[in-house]
Amino acid sequence: MSFGNIVLIIIAAVVAYLIVIYNKFVSLRAGIDASWSDIDVQLKRRYDLIPALVDTVRGYKEYEAETLEKVIQARQQGLSAGTVDEKAAAANMLSGALGKLFALAEAYPDLKANTNFLDLQNQLSNLEDAIQNARRYYNAIVRDYNAKTESFPDLFIAQKYNFTPRDYFELDESEATAVKKMPKIDL
């Protein structure tokens, strides 16, 4: 084998390796986008339940308007959020407001026993689980992608083709679990 053939084989191997690195970035980026879409769908479903919950609670004369206002405001903030950080902040705000609303419901036995309220609470609890699972998956892909953007020699491809690190979707776990901790009442 001549020197020229060896050089061609080496160049072909390097080019093939660079193509593999690039394709892995593209694959991870597509995975991030798809998993973010899953989170977005779950958040939208959550926001869609809020008006029904607010209407149910408003049916009770003794409800606290300030708590409902915070829930409504958090929903609006979530619907208008654009970036991952904005959506995370809105989700945390909504979880906190819902946790307070469910804690407040403890003081109103009629509300706690309302089947519509219990159904909405159960749906929100299930959505919290779905959001948490989607968030974990999203963050795992983001972790792999971000590590690849900083790893040698992959970082050269990342820089050349503008594969920039992505933000994690961080939720305050204590806020999300507050929605799920309200005691269930069997009718």
Write out pLDDT tens, residues 34-73: 999 999 999 999 999 888 888 888 776 556 677 888 888 9
Mean predicted confidence (pLDDT) in 28-35: 96
How far is the C-alpha of 27 from the C-alpha of 106, rounded, in Å?
A: 48
pTM equals 0.79
pLDDT score for 114: 79
Q: What is the pLDDT of residues 82-103, one digit of tens each?
A: 888 899 899 899 988 888 888 8
25: burial class by Cβ within 10 Å (0-12, 13-18, 19+)?
middle
Write out the DSSP string of the chain.
--HHHHHHHHHHHHHHHHHHHHHHHHHHHHHHHHHHHHHHHHHHHHHHHHHHHHHHHHTSTT--HHHHHHHHHHHHHHHH--SHHHHHHHHHHHHHHHHHHHHHHTT-HHHHH-HHHHHHHHHHHHHHHHHHHHHHHHHHHHHHHHHHHHSTTHHHHHHHTT----------HHHHHHHH-SPP---
Q: What is the pLDDT of residues 130-170, one digit of tens each?
A: 999 999 999 999 999 999 999 998 999 999 999 999 999 98
Domains of the chain: 3-180 (1.20.1440.20)
pLDDT score for 13: 94
Asked if the model's pLDDT at residue 173 lies above 70, the reply is no
pLDDT score for 105: 77
pLDDT score for 109: 75
